[in-house]
Amino acid sequence: MSLLQEETSGEAVAAVRKRPALRRALYEILLVALLFTAYKIGRLAADGHVGEALANAQNVWNLERLLHLPSEYGLQQAIVGHGWLIKAANCYYAYVHFPATAAALIWLYVRRPERYVATRRLLAWLTASALVVHLLFPLAPPRMLASVGMLDTGRLFGPAVYGSPSTDTLTNQYAAMPSLHVGWALAVAIALIGATRGRWRWLWSAHPLITLMVVVATGNHYWLDAIVVAALLGLVAWVLSGGAVTALGASQPSIPKPRVGES
């Protein structure tokens, strides 16, 4: 076989090998796109419960005070006087959530495919579970509680993510609990910490911590929204890891085998 024939044959083999990889990549892109679409559609499906959402908001606020959780109002007031800081928080809320999640998934797909599948599955089921809570428990965000002094920092200082709730047809603004901003950030950080090496890998935990401070300071979520999504993430991870199956199997009494000679 000539050198030219060998090179042509090698290129053909490489092209054949690339096809399954390309199909897998397109398949994963489609799955992630469906995940983001479900996130949007599910939030829209939960819309139309303004009165219930506002009543739930007041109840959540009162419950947090009863539990002596830090005040969202106090955190917001601590930074609202610093124009650059509140704008930075608004930008983080508006521009980091989706791109950071997408970038992490792409990196995991390319560099740690075994962890990518687990992370994608975790995010998908976490989102589905959260949408069920959104449907069952509509909740207005703190920025709508003008009676307690909370501000809509996005509308006042920019950039604004949401329009007026009465005219916004793209998003459901009454789906504060649980916070998928915090949930996705926490899932991404856990995945990246597990996929990287060295002591610097713990810096990934800054993402969910900053996200938590941002969503509360901007008036988009309560502390309880983050607590609930962390618990939900743990539950989903436990179920996906086979914990539920193991627990059910352990609850079944074992039937002893008959001894030799026994009927």
Token pair, residue 74, equals 């106090």
- pLDDT > 70 in the chain, percent: 74
Of all residues in the chain, the percent with pLDDT exceeding 90 is: 55
pLDDT in tens, 23-52: 776 776 777 677 667 666 655 665 567 889
For the segment 150-199, what is each residue's pLDDT rounded down to a tens digit? Answer: 999 999 999 988 877 766 666 778 889 999 999 999 999 999 999 999 88
- Helices then strands, counting H and E runs in the chain, come out as 11, 0
- Long-range Cβ contact pairs of 155-164 (< 8 A, separation 24 or more): 157/83, 157/86, 157/87, 157/90, 158/87, 158/90, 159/90, 159/91, 159/94, 159/95, 160/90, 161/93, 161/94
Q: What gap in Å lies between CA 200 and CA 196, rounded to an integer?
A: 9
Q: Omega before 20 cis (within 30°)?
A: no
pLDDT digits (tens, 9 = 90+) for 191-245: 999 999 988 999 999 999 999 999 999 999 999 999 999 999 999 999 998 865 5
pTM for this prediction:
0.79
Neighbours of 222 (CB within 10 A): 26
